[in-house]
Amino acid sequence: MNTLGYAILGLIDKNKITGYDLTKIFNDSVADFWSAKQSQIYTELKKLVDAALIEYEVVIQGEVLEKKVYSITTKGKEELNTWMHEDEPPLSQSKDVFKLRLYFSEQLTSQELCGKFEKQLEKCQLLLTRYTIKFNEYDSTVISAAKIGDYLLLKGAIAHLRTQIEWINESLVYIKK
């Protein structure tokens, strides 16, 4: 099974959920450390059902809309548990087009390079604002076990973005000099 399958399994284990809501969580909370397209998520859900790791019930919403609500099976819980205890792969599997282009910066003028850094800065600042708002909703003294991961990840993401912003600003100074 691929990692996306385990990510979905873990999310379904947290709560019974529809494919639609699962996709929303991927775009929101999980996007910082695991990305997936909607089509991939639906493909994976089908595989997980076929492997009997999850099951679903069809719920009628309103007059006509049917939706599948997925829940994890005992076999799924075992599979998730085994994966959770495995060792992590080596560091640095990230794919970052901005950094890749920076590595080839001799292809660009200083001005073009600064333009790329400034756009990146803007994106980081926007994301930092979003994460900070989310983080401020937490009261660090009362966090449930199910939320500790989310809380620590947000803290890490904020620290990472601040470092990134500082680095971009320093780089801009370096390039312009």
Residue ranges that bind a copy of itself, judged by CB under 8 A: 3, 6-7, 10, 13-14, 29-35, 80-81, 84-85, 87-108, 112, 116, 119-120, 123-124, 127, 145-146, 148-150, 152-153, 155-156, 159-160, 162-164, 166-167, 170-171, 174-175
Beta carbon of residue 61, minimum distance to a copy of itself (angstroms, whole number): 28
Beta carbon of residue 66, minimum distance to a copy of itself (angstroms, whole number): 29
Question: Which of helix, strand or coil describes residue 40?
Answer: helix
Beta carbon of residue 73, minimum distance to a copy of itself (angstroms, whole number): 16
Instruction: List the structure tokens of 76.
Output: 């799924």
Q: How far apart are CA 177 and CA 173, in angstroms?
A: 6
The nearer residue to a copy of itself, 57 or 166, going by C-beta atoms, is: 166
Beta carbon of residue 62, minimum distance to a copy of itself (angstroms, whole number): 32
Instruction: List the structure tokens of 145.
Output: 């076990």
The nearer residue to a copy of itself, 35 or 57, going by C-beta atoms, is: 35
Q: Where are the beta strands (DSSP E) in 11-75?
A: 17-18, 54-61, 65-72
The nearer residue to a copy of itself, 36 or 45, going by C-beta atoms, is: 36
Q: At CA 33, angle to CA 151 and CA 23, rounded to 5?
A: 95
User: Which residues 6+ apart lie within 8 Å of 118 measured at CB?
Assistant: 172
Q: What are phi and psi of 70, to 5 degrees?
A: -90, 140
